[in-house]
């Protein structure tokens, strides 16, 4: 029962109740807008290139998790046996270690702190126009089945004297998505992190993802997408602001 109620694979194409879905069509349209819009479409590559140096720095740090690799390797060795494989056959000899390293990579968000990433990337700025970073690629792991869910994240906020380095939004997405997650929590955590970082007037986050636990098992719907959204501050209270964000994210 518990699994069925939590599991996105049981609930069709969209896992959230209707009232919480981003309602693209139901939001009233306005002719005059109170805010100008700056759209920054940041591809993952471009965003991360800027951060490459910092990222390399992070990978050089030996983390306590690395010490656990040997234990994880043993566990994957056993797992191969349990699924009916022969871990001693040539093709699988290095698989347990590779799998352990891959799992560490998929969950490397546990090694990083938002505060460290945002260091020196918050700027005093009187810019009061909406900032939108859309289609940030996202790779996460469903905490119910330990299989991936993959999609894209769009983030918008209205600054209040402070702005965030553009690539840092992608880093926030990376840190929270590279952990065991449920999509609803991931969406909220991204919105909260941006709120805490720059105290904006409002924040909107939309995550659209395909869950492999839904695609490969359960209902086996290949093209089913789950959409989650978090709207805070003026994005929640002001329909015109929310509409403008959703229009840009949609197009
Ligand atoms: Zn799942």
Q: Do 46 and 131 have their domain in common? A: yes
Distance from residue 137's CA to the centre of ligand 1 (Å): 19
How confident is the model at residue 63, as a pLDDT? 65
Q: How far apart are CA 16 and CA 160, in angstroms?
A: 31
Report CA(8)–ligand 1 centroid distance (Å): 7
pLDDT for residue 139: 98
Residue 4 Cα, ligand 1 centroid: separation in angstroms? 11
Mean pLDDT, each 10-residue run in order, the chain (251 residues): 39 40 40 39 44 45 76 97 97 96 94 86 85 97 96 96 92 96 97 94 97 83 89 97 95 81
Is the model's pTM score more than 0.85?
no
For residue 154, give its domain range.
2-55+121-250
Are 200 and 164 found together in one domain? yes
In angstroms, the CA 25 to CA 20 distance is 14
Number of domains forming the structure of the chain = 2
Give residue 87 CA to ligand 1 midpoint distance, Å: 27
Residues of the chain by 3-state class (helix, strand, coil), percent to 5:
45, 20, 30
- Does residue 113 sit within a domain? no
Pairing of strands 130-142, 180-181: parallel
What is d(CA 175, CA 3) in angstroms, rounded to the nearest whole number?
A: 26
CA of 166 to the centre of ligand 1 (A): 31
114 in any annotated domain:
no
Kindly state whether residue 116 falls inside one of the protein's structural domains.
Answer: no
List residues with catalytic annotation.
Answer: 142-145, 183, 211, 213
In terms of domains, do 85 and 49 share one?
A: no
Mark whether 198 and 133 lie in a shared domain.
Answer: yes
Residue 111 lies in a domain: no
């Amino acid at each position: 029962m518990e699994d069925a109620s939590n599991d996105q694979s049981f609930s069709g194409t969209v896992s959230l109740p209707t009232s919480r879905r981003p309602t693209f069509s139901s939001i009233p349209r306005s002719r005059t807008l109170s805010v100008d819009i700056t759209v920054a479409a940041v591809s993952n590559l471009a965003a991360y290139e800027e951060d490459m140096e910092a990222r390399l720095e992070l990978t050089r740090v030996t983390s306590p998790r690395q010490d656990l690799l040997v234990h994880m390797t043993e566990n994957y060795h056993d797992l191969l046996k349990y699924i009916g494989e022969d871990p001693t056959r040539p093709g699988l000899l290095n698989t347990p270690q590779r799998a352990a390293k891959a799992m560490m990579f998929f969950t490397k968000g546990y090694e990083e702190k938002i505060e460290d990433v945002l260091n020196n990337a918050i700027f005093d700025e009187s810019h009061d126009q909406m900032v939108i970073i859309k289609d940030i690629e996202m790779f996460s792991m469903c905490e119910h089945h330990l299989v991936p869910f993959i999609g894209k994240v769009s983030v918008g906020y209205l600054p209040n004297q402070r702005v965030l380095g553009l690539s840092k939004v992608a880093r926030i997405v990376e840190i929270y998505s590279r952990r065991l997650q449920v999509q609803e929590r991931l969406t909220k955590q991204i919105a909260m992190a941006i709120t805490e970082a720059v105290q904006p007037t409002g924040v909107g986050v939309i995550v659209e993802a395909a869950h492999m636990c839904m695609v490969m098992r359960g209902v086996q719907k290949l093209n089913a997408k789950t959409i989650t959204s978090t709207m805070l501050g003026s994005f929640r209270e002001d329909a015109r602001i929310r509409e403008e964000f959703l229009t840009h994210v949609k197009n």
